[in-house]
Amino acid sequence: TYWHHGMAGSWAQEGKTRTYHMDVPTNNDFHLRYDTVVMAEGGTWFNMTVQRRGGLGGGYMDTYLLNATGNAVTRLYRTPSSQFNSPITYTYLLDEAGNWTFSIYSNEWTVSYSVTLSWVDQTTGLRMTATHYGVTGTWVGRWNYAINVTAPSPKPFTYDATVYASTGDVVTLTLTTGYNYNNGDWMDFRLVSPSNFIIDQQYTRIYNFYSGISMVNDLFEPGTWRIGIYSTGYWCQYDMDLVITDGTTGTNSTYSHHGSVSIWNAPAWRWYYINVTGLPQQQPFNPGDEAAALMGTRMNLTVQGGAYSNYVEYCFVRLYNPDGRVAAALVRRSDDW
């Protein structure tokens, strides 16, 4: 133990900062530092544990993982930063080769923290762990930790991935939200056909996805189908499950991705793709399509609602005659359909 009774301040000696020095001998044990490059294998689940150890309080802490192409693949943002007083762990599958970055920052003057990066060595099965005690904030700046990732084999299902199916197959999509920064923000989960029609959509509050929401649809048209995910919130982690049911054999092929969506991302939309081959099947009646009937025929028009974003809004159904006049109309609140 060493102690010194001293004084610092604007009236003290030049430089105004008292400095004490520690001579530290070389230690060959591995410790995570700001300039450390962590080596990890592709296809490995990468765990990030963050804990706030001290600070002024009142600001936010922002942590995220950038993949090798510079895209923020997962994020954990909390305000106030005291929500990190207990350690929080989140995880992501290292799904591409290259130099990844784990980044941490706070808008408080200074915040001390600990960060632990851990993963399992694919060869030995041993858990690799690296911990660093650091300080971030407006006086210090953002800190980045580098992760060098080898090529995963086989390549996992990830952002911008394409799966393959045939016309007549059935796709089941399930979205479940996890960690998020949520002030009543919304999620948009949609399936778009090759003709650019929105075939199915769930647009509702983030918290309504906590238990998972599913959409089931026939893949009736050949071409590239798109699955889109968007949030109006700062960020939201999610699990998206995609199941293709073979229309002939009934066999299921399942794909899953643990991802993150954020208005801070560029681009903000997350897209997944289904490449569908085969002959067109019996298609639903789409906007712009035509049907034929004889004059004098009675026409029955039936409308049934599905998912909707706001039950107090209204849905209008109108039938126009060739002169452009409304021949029949019905208006109801969304929850009445």
Give me the chain's average pLDDT, please: 89
Position 144 in a domain: yes
Percent of the chain with pLDDT over 70: 94
Q: What is the mean pLDDT of residues 2-20?
A: 79
Number of domains in the chain: 3
Among residues 84, 118, 149, the one where a domain terminates is 149
Report how far residue 61's alpha carbon sits from residue 137's, in angstroms, rounded to the nearest whole number.
9
The residue range of the domain holding 177 is 162-277
169 and 267 in a single domain? The answer is yes
Contacts of 207 (CB under 8 A, 6+ apart): 177, 182
Tell me the residue ranges of DSSP E strands in 84-185.
88-93, 98-106, 111-120, 127-136, 143-149, 162-166, 170-181
* Residue 91 CB neighbours (<10 A): 15
Phi-psi region of 196 (alpha: psi -120 to 50; beta: other; left: phi over 0): left
Among residues 122, 149, 176, the one where a domain terminates is 149
Lowest pLDDT segment from 31-45, 263-277, 310-324: 31-45
230 and 301 in a single domain? The answer is no
220 and 311 in a single domain? The answer is no
- Which amino acid, residue 331? V
Report how far residue 141's alpha carbon sits from residue 103's, in angstroms, rounded to the nearest whole number.
11
Assign 333 a pLDDT band (cuts: 50, 70, 90). Answer: confident
Main-chain dihedrals φ then ψ at residue 191, nearest 5 degrees: -120, 125
302 and 252 in a single domain? The answer is no
Task: Check which CATH number belongs to the domain holding 125 and give it.
Answer: 2.60.120
Position 113 in a domain: yes
Report how far residue 225's alpha carbon sits from residue 278's, in angstroms, rounded to the nearest whole number.
13
Q: What is the mean pLDDT of residues 294-321?
A: 82
Query: 3-class SS at 315?
Result: strand
55 and 126 in a single domain? The answer is yes
Q: What is the mean pLDDT of residues 194-206?
A: 92
Distances (CA, A) of 51 to 23, 55, 99, 131, 300: 28, 12, 24, 11, 63
Position 319 in a domain: yes
pLDDT digits (tens, 9 = 90+) for 63-96: 999 999 888 889 999 999 999 999 999 999 998 8
298 and 324 in a single domain? The answer is yes
Report how far residue 164's alpha carbon sits from residue 143's, in angstroms, rounded to the nearest whole number.
41
* Residue 335 CB neighbours (<10 A): 12
pLDDT digits (tens, 9 = 90+) for 223-254: 999 999 999 999 999 999 999 999 999 999 99
Main-chain dihedrals φ then ψ at residue 242, nearest 5 degrees: -125, 120
Among residues 117, 149, 181, the one where a domain terminates is 149
pLDDT digits (tens, 9 = 90+) for 96-124: 899 999 999 999 999 999 999 998 877 77
121 and 213 in a single domain? The answer is no
249 and 325 in a single domain? The answer is no
Reported pTM? 0.76
78 and 124 in a single domain? The answer is yes
219 and 166 in a single domain? The answer is yes
Q: How many whole angstroms from its chain centre is CA 213?
A: 15
The residue with tokens 């983030």 is 206
